[in-house]
Structure 1
Amino acid sequence: MLADHEQDRLVELLVATAEVIGDQLRPTAAAFIVNDLAGYPLPALEKALAACRRELKGRLSLAAILERIDDGHPAPNEAWANAIRAADEAATVVWTEQTRDSWTAALPLIEAGDKIAARQAFLEVYTRLTKDARAAGQLAVHHASIGFDASGRDAVLQRAVAAGQLAHEQVAEHLALPPATPAFNPVALLAGRVEASPEANARTRARLAELAELLGAPSAKAAA
């Protein structure tokens, strides 16, 4: 919900936008529009009104503003194309709450092998859910459905973080850890030498040198 000072700012933006496109907005009309838009964050409304100034001619309406709010809800066919990936339990999918709930409604038909009916059911539920969300001024909220294929998981989650759909903290535990780097060179050890890896710190190098001395094996420092 917009704070009082944000609502005042929105009134200013509405009046200025109307003037730019050759319209006039009365205070009463502006108050009604602000009330209908108060559920959206101000930055999203500022972008929508900027689009109105670029694209509209002659009249500013609530419908025109709503059409230009980037609320994060994908188009129905885009949502279906993303959701159908969840049919593979190995796949990690990042989707909105509406996409997830619509997929749940369509899943029995998928399991029955009727993909056409499943798509139709999905689109019907998704259209209704997104309509309700937009009427309530709700932006899309994304969640991750984690598949068991770890090799393909990172790319999906990293893309979602880069797109601002998920915070890194939400997915950090599911991201693969970088491969551990040994403190010593295993190939050199097979040849009878104790040799620190390039990534080893000074303390590790000193300990390896001590180990080499105890074992009577040449160290990288001695070999040099």
Structure 2
Amino acid sequence: MLADHEQDHLVDLLVATAEVIGDQLRPNAAAYMVQDLACYALPALEKALSSCRRELKGRLSLAAVLERIDDGHPAPNEAWAVAIQAADERATVVWTTTTQQAWNVALPLVEAGDKIAARLAFLEAYARLLKDARAERQVATYTPSLGFDAASRSAVLADAVTKGLLQHEAVSQHLQLAAPSPTFNPVALLAGKVEAAPGANEKIRARLEEMARELAA
């Protein structure tokens, strides 16, 4: 939900967008439009209004703004390409709740070995669920379905975090942390020498050189 100051900003954007395309929109009418738009993130609304300024001629309507909002829901075939990966229990899948619900409809057919019928059932269910979600102004919500392959699981989750689909805090316990690179040569240390490892940065190298001089003294 947009904060009050964001809603005020959106009113200004709506009025300005209408003017740019040759329309007139009074602030009180724009405020009514904001009531139907406030459930979306401001960047998505700004992008939609930018599209309106490029594409519309003469009239700005609520429907025109809504159809240009990227609500995060993947296209049906894109959703199926993600969902079918869940047929492999080793695979970790990051999908929308709508995709997951449609997959539950298709899963019995997948398990029966009929992927063609499963795809058709998925697409039909997904289209219905997507229509309902958009009618209720629901933006896409992503969740992980964890597979038992730990290495690929960590990579998929890290990628989803990078893309902003998941919050790091929500999946941090499933992410494998890379082992820290050594800053000194442990073999040389056993021989009484202090040597920096190849990956050590300049600050660490300087400190190790200082330690080496102290040991030599």
TM-score (norm 1): 0.77
| Equivalent residues in 2 for 1:117-156, closer than 5 Å | 117-156=117-156
| Cα distance in structure 2, aligned partners of 1:197 and 1:176 | 29
Cα distance between partner residues in 1 of 2:160 and 2:102: 20
The alpha-carbon deviation at position 70 of structure 1 amounts to 1.5
Q: Deviations over 1:135-175 (max 9, x none)?
A: 22222111111111122222211211111101111221111
Cα distance in structure 1, aligned partners of 2:77 and 2:165? 19
Deviates more, 1:36-45 or 1:144-153: 36-45
Unaligned runs of 5+ in 2: 209-214
Where 1:80 maps in the other structure, the secondary structure is: helix
Aligned to 1:45, what secondary structure does the other structure show? Answer: helix
Within a 5 Å distance, the mapping from 1:91-110 to structure 2 comes to 91-110=91-110
**Which one-letter code corresponds to 1:120 in the other structure?**
L
Other structure's SS at 1:166 match = coil
Q: Which residue of 1 aligns with 2:157?
A: 157
- Partner deviation per Cα, 1:58-104 (whole Å, 9 max, x = no partner): 22122221122121111110000001000000011111111111111
The DSSP-based 3-state class of the residue aligned with 1:77 is helix
Give a deviation string over 1:112-141, Cα, whole Å, max 9, x none.
Answer: 111111111111221122222222222211
| Identity in percent | 67
Q: 1:195 to 1:101 in 2, by over 3 A?
A: farther
Kept after mapping to 2: 8 A contact 1:185/1:195: no
Return closer, same or farther for 1:111/1:195 CA change in 2, 3 Å cut-off. farther
Q: Which runs of 4+ in 1 moved over 6 A?
A: 180-184, 194-197
Give, as a single letter, the amino acid of the residue that structure 2 aligns with 1:67: E
* Equivalence for 1:80: 80
Deviation at 1:110, TM superposition (A): 0.6
The answer to whether the 8 A contact 1:185-1:194 is kept is: no
For 2:88 and 2:192, the matched residues in 1 are separated by: 48
In 2, Cα distance between the equivalents of 1:170 and 1:197? 40
Confirm or deny: 8 A CA contact 1:184 1:194 kept in the other structure. Answer: no
Gap runs ≥5 in structure 1: 206-220
Residue in 1 aligned with 2:168? 168
| Aligned counterparts of 1:197 and 1:93: Cα–Cα separation in 2 | 44
TM-score (norm 2): 0.79
**Offset of 1:21 from its aligned partner?**
0.8
Greater C-alpha Rg? 1
Alignment of 1:1-224 (within 5 A): 1-26=1-26, 29-179=29-179, 185=186, 198=196
Deviation at 1:184, TM superposition (A): 7.7
| 1:195/1:88 CA distance change after superposition, 3 Å | farther
SS at match of 2:48: helix
> Is residue 97–residue 142 contact of structure 1 (8 Å, CA) maintained in 2?
yes
| Aligned equivalents of 2:178, 2:58: Cα separation in 1 | 57
Number of residue pairs aligned between Structure 1 and Structure 2: 203
Q: CA RMSD in A?
A: 2.9
Once residues 197 and 121 of structure 1 are traced to their aligned partners in structure 2, the CA distance between those partners, rounded to angstroms, is 63
